[in-house]
Amino acid sequence: MALSTATPERRHDIDWLRVIAIGLLLLFHITLIFQSWGMFIQSEKTCEALWLPMGAIVVWRIPILFFISGMGLCFAARRRSFGGLLLERTRRILLPTIFGSFVIVPIHFLIEQKYHHEALAYKPNLWHLWFLAYIYAYVLFWGYALYCLRTKENALVRMFRSILRRPIGIYLFMIPFIIEAWGLAPEYFGVYVDNAHGFFLGALAFSFGFLFAAIGDAFWNAAVKTRYINIVLAMSLFLLSMLHFEYKPPHALSSIESMAWILAIFGFGFKHLNKPSRTLSYLSQAAYPVYIIHMVAQYAASYFVLPLGLSPWRSFVLITVGTFGACLAAYELVIRRVDLVRPLFGLKRRKPGESGSAHAGPVAQTG
C-alpha cells in the first residue's frame, strides 16, 4: 500500500536526519583525537575501540549531508525565483563561509599552536568549512539546471518517477556513484576534503538529493519499501569491509555500502521521524551554527582535558561533553540572540517580537 501523497510542507524527518548527521559528525571528529592517524590535537593515548562505531559511518557521514542540502535547495526553490534563491544562498552560505574562514577557523589554529608551544600566527583557512564552500559552488555553477527540475511536471522528473513505480528501481541511482568512485579511484573512499573525489561525489549527492525531493512521493515510497533490504545490505558490506578488507574494500563496494546506508536512513526516517517537536525546532536551527563553531569548542576542550593524563575513554567523554556544551552555550547565549551575529552563522534576522527560534539555516531548510 502506497504512502499518503499528502506530504507536509515541512519535512520534519529531513530536519531530524540533518541534526543527527551533524551530531554524528562532531562525534566522528572527537574520535579522531584518539586515533594514531588523526589530524587534530591528538591524544598520546590512543583507543582503537572508539573507532568501531565510527567506522560504520565513515562512508556516508558527509554524502548524506550533501543529499540533505540538495533536498533543502529543492524545497526552497518551489517558493522563490532563481535570482531570489541565489541571493538567499549567497547571504546564508557564502557569508558564513567567509566569516568562518577569517574569524572562526583561525581561533582553533591559535589554540593548537598554543597547545604545541608554537609561535602564534593568524591562519585564515576554510578547514572544516570546505563543505559549505562546495555547496555554494554547486548552487552557483549548476543551480539553475537543478532549479528547472523542481516540479513534478518536468519530463526528467516524470521519467524517474515512472522508474520508481517499482521500488527496485531505486537501485539504479547507485550506478552514477559507483562510476564516480571507480573512475576517480581515491586513495581512501571516506576522505572527501581536498580531492576530486569529494567534490564530484558531493556534486552527485547534492544533485540527486534535489532530484529525490523533486520526484516526491514515488521516491519516498520506494525508500520506505526497500528500507530493510538496504539496512541489511549496508550492515553486511560494513562487516565485510571491516573483517575482510580492513576498512579498504574496493571502491565499488564502498559506494554501494554508502548508498545502502543513506537510502535505508531516508526510508526509516520518513517512516518514523516525520513529526514536529519543540526540541527539533530548536536543534534544527542550532545545527548550522554548531557545525561552524564546533572545531573551536573541540580544540578548546582538548587543550584543557588531554594534559590531565586521563584514560582515553574518560578524556573522550569530557571532550564530548565540553564540545557539545560549549557549542550549545555559544548558540543559546550569543548567536541566536544577537541580531548582528545571526547572519554570520547563516540565520535570518529576527522579526520584531520574535524569540529567535523560527528560522533554520540553509543547510537545514526543508520546508
Domain annotation covers residue 362:
no
Determine the Cα–Cα distance for residues 115 and 137; give it in Å rounded to an integer.
Answer: 34
pLDDT digits 0-9 by tens, 219-250: 999 999 999 999 999 999 999 999 999 889 99
CB atoms within 10 A of CB 172: 11
The three-state DSSP-derived secondary structure of the chain is CCCCCCCCCCCHHHHHHHHHHHHHHHHHHHHHCCCCCCCCCCCCCCCHHHHHHHHCCCCCCCHHHHHHHHHHHHHHHCCCCHHHHHHHHHHHHHHHHHHHHHHHHHHHHHHHHHHCCCCCCCCCCCHHHHHHHHHHHHHHHHHHHHHCCCCCCCHHHHHHHHHCCCHHHHHHHHHHHHHHHHHHCCCCCCCCCCCHHHHHHHHHHHHHHHHHHHHCHHHHHHHHHCHHHHHHHHHHHHHHHHHCCCCCCCHHHHHHHHHHHHHHHHHHHHHHCCCCCHHHHHHHHHHHHHHHHHHHHHHHHHHHHHHHCCCHHHHHHHHHHHHHHHHHHHHHHHHCCCCCCHHHHCCCCCCCCCCCCCCCCCCCCCC
Would you say residue 7 has pLDDT above 70?
no
Determine the Cα–Cα distance for residues 210 and 214; give it in Å rounded to an integer.
Answer: 6
Torsion, Cα of 252, 253, 254, 256 (10° steps): 90
Average pLDDT of the residues in 277-306: 97
Domain annotation covers residue 280:
yes
Average pLDDT of the residues in 283-295: 97
pLDDT digits 0-9 by tens, 27-69: 999 999 999 888 899 999 999 898 888 999 999 999 999 999 9
Residue 314's pLDDT band (cuts 50, 70, 90) = very high
Q: pLDDT value at position 43?
A: 94
Determine the Cα–Cα distance for residues 161 and 165; give it in Å rounded to an integer.
Answer: 7
Q: Are 189 and 255 in contact (CB under 8 A)?
A: yes
Q: How many CA atoms lie within 13 A of 109 on its CB side?
A: 17
Q: pLDDT value at position 244?
A: 94
Query: Could you give the number of structural domains in the chain?
Result: 1
Q: pLDDT value at position 2?
A: 40
Domain annotation covers residue 339:
yes
Domain annotation covers residue 2:
no
Determine the Cα–Cα distance for residues 226 and 344; give it in Å rounded to an integer.
Answer: 40
Domain annotation covers residue 1:
no
Q: pLDDT value at position 312?
A: 95
Buried b (16+ CB within 10 A) or exposed e, 272-304: ebbeeeeebbbbbbbbbbbbbbbbbbbbbbbbe
Query: Cell numbers 560549549 label which residue?
Result: 326
CB atoms within 10 A of CB 183: 11
pLDDT digits 0-9 by tens, 177-193: 999 999 999 999 999 99
Amino acid in the structure at residue 51: W
Determine the Cα–Cα distance for residues 272 and 297; give it in Å rounded to an integer.
Answer: 32
Would you say residue 8 has pLDDT above 70?
no
Would you say residue 366 has pLDDT above 50?
no
- The length of the chain, given as a count of residues: 367
Domain annotation covers residue 171:
yes
Q: pLDDT value at position 295?
A: 97
* Mean pLDDT score across all residues of the chain: 92
Q: pLDDT value at position 355?
A: 58
Would you say residue 145 has pLDDT above 80?
yes
Task: Kindly state the greatest CA–CA separation across the chain.
Answer: 65
Residue 1's pLDDT band (cuts 50, 70, 90) = very low
Lowest-pLDDT choice from 78-87, 144-153, 266-275, 318-327: 144-153
Domain annotation covers residue 32:
yes
Q: pLDDT value at position 6?
A: 40
Share of the chain above pLDDT 90, in %: 85
Q: pLDDT value at position 86?
A: 96
Q: 227: Cβ–Cβ under 8 A, 6 or more apart, which residues?
A: 263, 264, 267, 268, 271
Sign of CA dihedral 215, 222, 274, 64: negative
Residue 133's pLDDT band (cuts 50, 70, 90) = very high
Instruction: List C-alpha distances in Å: 202 to 104, 136, 152, 195, 235.
Output: 24, 11, 24, 11, 23
338: domain range? 12-345
Domain annotation covers residue 358:
no
